[in-house]
Structure 1
Amino acid sequence: MSGYPSLRPKSDASQVVDLPKGLHGVPDAMMFGLQASRASQGLKSVHPLQATEEQWQNNVLKMDFAMLKNSQGIHAPLKLQMEIFAVSRMQRLPCLHSSNIMLDTLTGRDDLIGFEDFLNNPADSEVMGQPHAMMERKLGLL
């Protein structure tokens, strides 16, 4: 046994999605939307692959740790986990955007381009908050 974690998709359960009935007894997706029925029934995933796609980065990291352990010993994944833990706790002030480039470099995400890199990027936001109020809220003073 090599000790590698499984990357097979594990779906929670298949459920039928029922939309709330509209005026004529027919499900009205335009009025209620798909998200309303999903939230009312407590569905976790719509498709069996959705669960694995959400956990993709964690699965890749587990595979990397397992390969490091098998090739270099237990010290290599432990050192990398400690570095990731230390880097993930470092933060800037709440009013400043942080790119988390060190965390991306350690986890191997620095050479990937995903939707979160160019859609809804907080660095492109035109709204700037008040630094003192944001820091007081972060510390629990407000």
Structure 2
Amino acid sequence: MESSKAIPHEIGGIQNDALRFGLQGVKSDLVGSHPVESLYETTRRTQEEMKRKVLVNTYGSAFPLKMDLDRQILSRFQRPPGPIPSSMLGLEALTGSLDDFGFEDYLNDPRESESLRPLDMHHGMEVRLGLSKGPVCPSFM
């Protein structure tokens, strides 16, 4: 019986298509997020849990479940990958993140960076439909 001598495209769970995804770097896999960013995320998570407990005690357990369902529905509405990014305005209004003042409000938007590769709309739709593997949009160069 002959065994197939095909080389798999994935080695260790990493896409090795250098023409489509660029060269893989090890630093991004080893170095975690910035300490302030991780502190911000844990604080945000703690605040959401406290808000959820207050809603359960005030309105009952069904109200936070309804809000979770609304969050799931609003997080699905997105534009196809391309030049115009999804704003997710409904989700931001529901979660209250419209009032947050993030780094992108006073620094440049990362999507406007010179080192960002242009999006490939065809590959993004292939990934979304399950016809291809890999990230929907390429990362920074």
Is 1:121 aligned to 2:109, yes or no?
A: yes
* Structure 2: gaps (5+ residues): 1-26, 133-141
CA offset digits 1:34-84 (Å, max 9, x no partner): xx6xx3xxx76786x764422222222111111111111112111111111
Contact in 2 for aligned 1:68/1:76 (Cα 8 Å): yes
The count of corresponding residues between Structure 1 and Structure 2 is 101
Give the distance between the partners of 1:125 and 1:135, measured in 2 at CA.
23
Shift of 1:140: 3.8
Identity of aligned residues (%): 36
The structure with the largest alpha-carbon Rg is 1
Please report the TM-score for the alignment, with normalisation by the length of structure 1.
0.55
Match of 1:102 among 76, 83, 90: 90
Contact in 1 for aligned 2:81/2:120 (Cα 8 Å): no
Match of 1:66 among 53, 62, 80: 53
Q: What RMSD over aligned residues (CA atoms) do the two structures have, in Å?
A: 3.1
**Larger relative contact order, structure 1 or 2 (CA cutoff 8 Å, min sep 6):** 1
CA offset digits 1:1-49 (Å, max 9, x no partner): xxxxxxxxxxxxxxxxxxxxxxxxxxxxxxxxxxx6xx3xxx76786x7
Q: 1:91 to 1:50 in 2, by over 3 A?
A: closer
Shift of 1:89: 2.2
